[in-house]
Amino acid sequence: MPENSIGRRLDVFLSLRFSTWSRSAISRAIASGEVESELRPLKASSILRPGEVLRVYIPGIAPSHAAPPLPPVLYEDEHILVLNKPPGLLTHPSGQRWEYGVIGLVREARPGIQPDLGHRLDRDTSGALVLTKTTIANRHVKDCFQTRQVSKSYLALVWGSPPWEETVAEGKIGQKPIRKLELRRSVTEDGDDARTRVNVEARIGDISLVHCRPVTGRTHQIRVHLESLGFPIVGDKIYGQPDEVFLEYMEQGATEMVRQAVGFPRQCLHARSIAMPHPVSGQILKVVAPLPEDMQRIVDGERPSWPDPGTPLPPEDSPEPEEGG
């Protein structure tokens, strides 16, 4: 329970947390038993208590499916946990619909610890994700990111075959001057300095597998830089596309126009490795995440495709920003 919510009425708290729901609708759901507390029976007027845990079963807010398993563990000790995050999973739930996120799955699988994120990955991005188990470890990891002591590499499938084997993208990154999509970034003269090293790993017809090493950590950096080079990531709904594609996806889901324009359900970006000083020993900890099946199939020659039109509507909220990706 957030500290600033203690002492509030239950119906007020939930209607503020899920702002598309009216207070009266929330009150009816509470009265029908769709909100529970581990401490006591609840009414709409119940005052929230310190340490109280709420379980929300309201259709449209609560998940409609069982919790996914904890992602594969790449490394774990008493300070650090590194997971191989699958595509489609949030690092932390947010927004108007409750969704499963990595943090919640770790809390269920590792009771007794207080996991925290060392960094974030976009919902669509797969790969190595660092979590911490203690406050000291979390402070250390975030300090390492801030002082550029962390080395990360990504693999991406891009449209096209670059005329070079390796290059360095150095375009400054800022907000696109004229845009319909607020979260979109672009290479701009007055943006923040950004630098990404890119080399070609494999060429598969009109698709290439590239290895990206971001030197800086700007929001959507790899996606922006690859677009600026003329080789947008396969499945990216924002970069390499007109703004209207992502806007239609958010409003209507995977329409025929979206599927035809994008060609694959998610951006083919994978956080392949991460290396940083360990918070206790100081030795460099390097973890490598294997390429996920959907990207591996394309590397092996399968043509990218989007499933049938039954794809459900996406969440109402924008993707999480990530460092570098």
Interatomic CA distance for residues 196 and 225, integer angstroms? 7
Report DSSP state, residue 325. Answer: -
Q: Which of 11, 77, 116, 122 is catalytic?
A: 122
The residue among 65, 55, 53 whose CA lies nearest residue 89 is 65
* CB-count burial class (<10 Å; 0-12, 13-18, 19+) for 145: middle
Handedness of CA 40, 46, 51, 55 (dihedral sign): positive
Interatomic CA distance for residues 126 and 240, integer angstroms? 20
The CA-to-CA distance between both ends of the chain, in Å, stands at 31
Q: Strand ranges (DSSP E) for 62-206? A: 73-76, 80-85, 116-117, 126-132, 151-159, 166-169, 173-175, 185-187, 196-204
Interatomic CA distance for residues 80 and 128, integer angstroms? 12
Handedness of CA 180, 186, 190, 192 (dihedral sign): positive
Residue 193's CB: how many other CB atoms inside 10 A? 11
Interatomic CA distance for residues 230 and 2, integer angstroms? 45
Is residue 122 annotated as part of the catalytic site, yes or no? yes
Interatomic CA distance for residues 9 and 49, integer angstroms? 10
Interatomic CA distance for residues 172 and 188, integer angstroms? 6
Structure-block tokens of residue 166: 């390796």
Query: What angle (nearest 5°) sits at the alpha carbon of residue 210, between those of residues 207 and 213?
Result: 155
Residue with tokens 């030795």: 283
Residues assigned a catalytic role: 122
